[in-house]
């Protein structure tokens, strides 16, 4: 998460979310909630007389039965005490008789994001909470992509914005550290789709623009084009008047049905784990309707990679499918950065041509400098070649563009893990219910430190999320490494009964945990032959250190004899 917004005034600092008042030097000033809420209401309108009725409304919600006059007077008195002044000689808090109070000082709103900044919150309303949640979130994410193409404008991470969806727009903006928030509503009734957007200044709570849009649901694509155009125009006028507007437009299909399937797939893919297969199915259906829709082809290629890395699809099958999607995307959208990103993965994974893959990733970034997927995949390619400083630099660039997104954190965390900078990796991979990969990599790091019980606990946490089977497969390996053979065998049998797929690379790691190096080498050779994506990192993967430590260890390109491959399959 980004750092939060604070208010500074006359040697004091107020954190509006934590409701903490501090002196400029950092010493906390004890104060109760009501005086601090009163202070916040005054800080948002510095130099203005705020009526007593508005101040009372900031302290008590409508319908609350309370002696507002007495309560307000008490809160004012306690606020004066906290600020160290008296009612006789007020230096900051002035009384406007029978009207209200005024904060007689300048206020600096300290916002972490430098320059113009905005967060796009998911659309709210009864429709958004029901059958069209994917639409409410997807439309906001697409609008965020449009705004990211405006030079000089910082747009908060979509994932962080989603996490703030239940907060008021002002509180969401304070938590996200942005100057402005776009908050909207979605309502679908019969065949009509109604969208409303409000651009709100976080520091003051002032609405500086609003727009309402109404069309038939069948015209959803035209409606979204209209919304994106008008919102972007308003943002440019009010926030970045020197900008020429978005440098490119978000691509959309001609079919509303295909677009709806694409948005549903995006929502499923964000969950990762076994939901990736649902995303694959939805994207394939979208492409049956509109075969040349580039974003769906690009997302499908990325989903195939995720499916293989997480063990949800056999590697060779996923690699071949990715090759088709990548080549098709490059054919229909050769100028799109994302097309070159997935082409880079095709070259790296299918062709095993790292130099050509690096060229494709760098072409992607030249065409789309904010393409976080290209930064992440470039970082992993560089790490696989042992170019750790370059790899970490690329991963950090991608992470800085979207710090709240789990994929950018995963790419940076993996890169740091391969570089054996374990403490740094742990700092990046903050576990969350929707980010199981963080728990899994945390288990790998704890294993390297010899803390196997803690590694098991991390995998137990991961097993409660969407990466259940990957976490349970890793648990089998850790149990084997601990010498708890009977438990490992029972856990393995339970997974096999569920039909879980163990890739050759995972079988290699399991054999290594049991001390069977010959079997490990045979499985690694088979994994290489079957295009397992993890074999790209065999030179640097810390999980293979036990094999490297043995005298005479050589992988030599991971080639295997026919006898070795047959033995691995047995």
- Do the Cβ atoms of 132 and 186 come closer than 8 Å? yes
pLDDT for 157 equals 82
230-239 per-position pLDDT tens digit: 998 999 999 9
How far apart CA 175 and CA 189 sit, in angstroms, is 33
Kindly indicate whether the domain formed by 6-110 is annotated with CATH number 1.10.10.10: yes
CATH 1.10.10.10 domain range(s) in the chain: 6-110
pLDDT for 223 equals 85
Which H/E stretch holds residue 96?
A: strand 93-96
Rg (CA), the chain: 28
CATH 1.25.40.10 domain range(s) in the chain: 252-367
| CA distances to 240, 242, 249, 256, 383 from 252, in Å | 26, 28, 9, 9, 35
277-303 per-position pLDDT tens digit: 999 999 999 999 999 999 999 999 999
Q: Which of 296, 276, 280, 306 lies closest to 410 in space, CA to CA?
A: 306
The torsion defined by the Cα of 373, 379, 385 and 387, in degrees rounded to 10, comes to: 160
CATH of domain 252-367: 1.25.40.10
The two structure tokens encoding residue 419: 């570089």
Which runs of consecutive H residues, i.e. helices, occur in 368-405?
Answer: 372-384, 388-401
How far apart CA 452 and CA 470 sit, in angstroms, is 17
Tell me if residue 348 falls in helix, strand or coil.
Answer: helix
> CB neighbours (10 Å) of residue 494?
12
pLDDT for 381 equals 98
The residue ranges of the chain whose pLDDT is under 70 are 1-3, 63-65, 113, 127-131, 247-250, 432-434, 466, 550-570
CATH 3.40.50.11830 domain range(s) in the chain: 117-250
How far apart CA 505 and CA 541 sit, in angstroms, is 12
pLDDT for 133 equals 80
Question: Would you identify the CATH topology of the domain 117-250?
Answer: Rossmann fold (3.40.50)
Q: Could you please report the per-residue DSSP string of 406-451?
A: HHHHHHHHHHHHHTT-HHHHHHH---BTTBHHHHHHHHHHHHHTT-
pLDDT for 247 equals 67
This prediction's pTM = 0.75
pLDDT for 310 equals 87
User: Cα angle vertex 264, ends 263, 266, to 5°?
Assistant: 65
Burial 46-58 (b: 16+ CB within 10 A, else e): beebbebeebbeb
The two structure tokens encoding residue 329: 């995307």
């Amino acid at each position: 998460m980004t750092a939060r917004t604070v208010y500074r005034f006359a040697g004091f600092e107020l954190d509006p979310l934590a409701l903490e008042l501090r002196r400029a030097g950092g010493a906390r000033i004890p104060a109760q909630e009501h005086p601090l809420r009163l202070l916040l209401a005054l800080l948002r309108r510095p130099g203005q007389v705020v009526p007593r009725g508005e101040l009372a409304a900031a302290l008590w919600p409508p319908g609350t039965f309370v002696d507002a006059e007495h309560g307000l007077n008490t809160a004012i008195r306690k606020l004066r005490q906290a600020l160290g002044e008296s009612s006789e000689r007020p230096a900051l808090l002035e009384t406007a008789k029978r009207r209200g109070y005024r904060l007689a000082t300048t206020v600096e709103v300290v916002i972490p994001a430098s320059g113009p900044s905005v967060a796009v919150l998911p659309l709210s309303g009864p429709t958004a909470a029901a059958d069209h949640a994917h639409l409410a979130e997807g439309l906001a994410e697409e609008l965020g992509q449009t705004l990211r193409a405006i030079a000089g404008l910082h747009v908060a991470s979509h994932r962080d914005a989603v996490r703030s969806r239940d907060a008021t727009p002002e509180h969401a903006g304070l938590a996200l550290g942005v100057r402005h928030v776009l908050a909207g509503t979605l309502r679908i009734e019969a065949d009509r789709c109604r969208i409303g957007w409000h651009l709100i200044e976080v520091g003051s709570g002032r609405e500086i623009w609003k727009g309402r849009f109404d069309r038939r649901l069948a015209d959803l694509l035209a409606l979204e084009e209209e919304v994106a155009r008008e919102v972007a125009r308003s943002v440019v006028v009010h926030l970045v008047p020197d900008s020429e507007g978005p440098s490119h437009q978000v691509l959309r299909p001609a079919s509303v049905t295909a677009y709806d399937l694409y948005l549903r797939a995006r929502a499923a893919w964000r969950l990762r784990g076994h939901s990736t297969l649902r995303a694959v199915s939805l994207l394939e259906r979208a492409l049956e309707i509109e075969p040349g829709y580039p974003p769906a082809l690009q997302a499908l290629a990325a989903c195939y990679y995720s499916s293989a890395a997480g063990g949800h699809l056999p590697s060779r099958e996923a690699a071949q499918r990715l090759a088709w999607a990548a080549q098709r995307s490059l054919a229909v959208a050769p100028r799109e950065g994302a097309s070159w990103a997935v082409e880079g993965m095709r070259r790296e994974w299918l062709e095993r041509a790292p130099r050509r893959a690096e060229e494709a990733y760098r072409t992607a970034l030249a065409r789309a400098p904010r393409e976080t997927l290209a930064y992440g995949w470039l970082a992993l390619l560089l790490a696989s070649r042992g170019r750790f400083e370059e790899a970490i630099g690329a991963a950090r660039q991608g992470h800085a563009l979207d710090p709240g997104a789990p994929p950018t954190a995963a790419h940076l965390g993996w890169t740091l893990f391969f570089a054996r900078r374990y403490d740094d990796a742990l700092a990046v991979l903050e576990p969350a219910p929707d980010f199981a990969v963080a728990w899994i990599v945390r288990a790998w790091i704890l294993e390297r430190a010899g803390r196997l019980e803690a590694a098991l606990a991390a995998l137990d946490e991961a097993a409660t999320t969407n990466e259940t089977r990957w976490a349970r497969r890793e648990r089998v390996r850790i149990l084997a490494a601990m010498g708890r053979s009977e438990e490992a065998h029972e856990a393995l049998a339970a997974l096999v009964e569920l039909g879980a797929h163990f890739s050759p690379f995972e079988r290699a790691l399991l054999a290594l945990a049991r001390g069977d190096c010959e079997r490990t080498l045979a499985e690694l050779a088979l994994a290489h032959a079957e295009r397992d994506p993890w074999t790209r990192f065999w030179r640097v993967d810390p999980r293979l250190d036990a094999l490297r430590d043995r005298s005479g260890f050589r992988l030599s390109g991971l080639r295997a004899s026919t006898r070795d491959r047959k033995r691995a399959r047995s």
